[in-house]
A and B are shown apart, each in its own frame.
Chain A
Amino acid sequence: MTQHLSDRDYEVLCAYLDGELPHHEQVKLEFRLRHQPDLQTALDELRQTSLLLRKLPQKRAPRNFTIQPAMVRQRAVPRAFPALRLASVLASLLFVIAFASDLITSHPIQSLSAMENVPTSAAGSRALQTQAPAATEAPAVPAAAPLAPPTPTQNQEAPLLMQAPAATQTPGGPADLAAGSVMAPTDTPAGIAASPTPTAEPTSAPYTALGVAPPRTKSSQPQTPAATLTPSEQIPVVTGTYGLGGGPGPEVTGSTETPTPEPTPLPPTETAAPETRQPTPTGTVLPASPGETAQAFKSAAGSEIPPATAVQSGAGSPTSVLPGFTRLPTALAPVLPAPAAARPVLRAMEFFFAGLAVLTGLAALLVRILPH
Chain B
Amino acid sequence: MDELGLIKDAQSGDLGAFNRLVLAYQNQAYNLAYRMLSEEAAAADATQNAFLSAYKNLRSYRGGSFRAWVLRMVTNSCYDELRRRHRHPTTSLEPATEDDEEIESPRWLASDGPSPEESVERAELEQAIQRCLGGLPEEFRLIVILVDIQGMDYSEVSAAIGKPLGTVKSRLARARMRLRGCLQGFGELLPLAFRLEDEATQ
Contact = CB atoms under 8 A, between A and B. Distances in A.
Contact of B51 (A50, A67, A69): A67
A304 interface: no
B3 interface: no
A259 B127 CA distance: 91
B188 interface: no
A48 B30 contact: no
Interface string B134-154: 000000000010011101011
Contact of B27 (A1, A60, A69): A60
A45 interface: yes
Interface in A14-51: 14-15, 18, 20, 41, 44-46, 48-50
B176 A14 contact: yes
Contact of B169 (A11, A50, A59): A11
Contacts of A2: 201
A72 interface: yes
A10 B180 CA distance: 12
Interface residues of B, number: 53
A314 interface: no
Given A53-B179, A58-B31, A67-B19, A45 B51 contact: no
Interface in B185-202: 190-191, 193-194, 197-198, 201-202
Nearest to B83: A371
Contacts of A54: 148-149, 151
A361 to B, nearest CB: 24
B96 interface: no
Contacts of B69: none
A331 B62 CA distance: 75
A201 interface: no
A242 B17 CA distance: 87
Interface size bracket, A side: 35 or more
B102 interface: no
A7 interface: yes
Contacts of B193: 48
A56 interface: yes
A42 B149 CA distance: 21
A7 B173 contact: yes
A57 interface: yes
A135 interface: no
B11 to A, nearest CB: 14
A46 B172 CA distance: 11
Contacts of B122: 57
B40 A62 contact: yes
A116 to B, nearest CB: 66
Closest 3 CB pairs of A and B: A53-B148, A10-B173, A66-B19
Given A52-B190, A67-B52, 5 more contacts: A10-B174, A60-B30, A64-B23, A66-B19, A67-B15
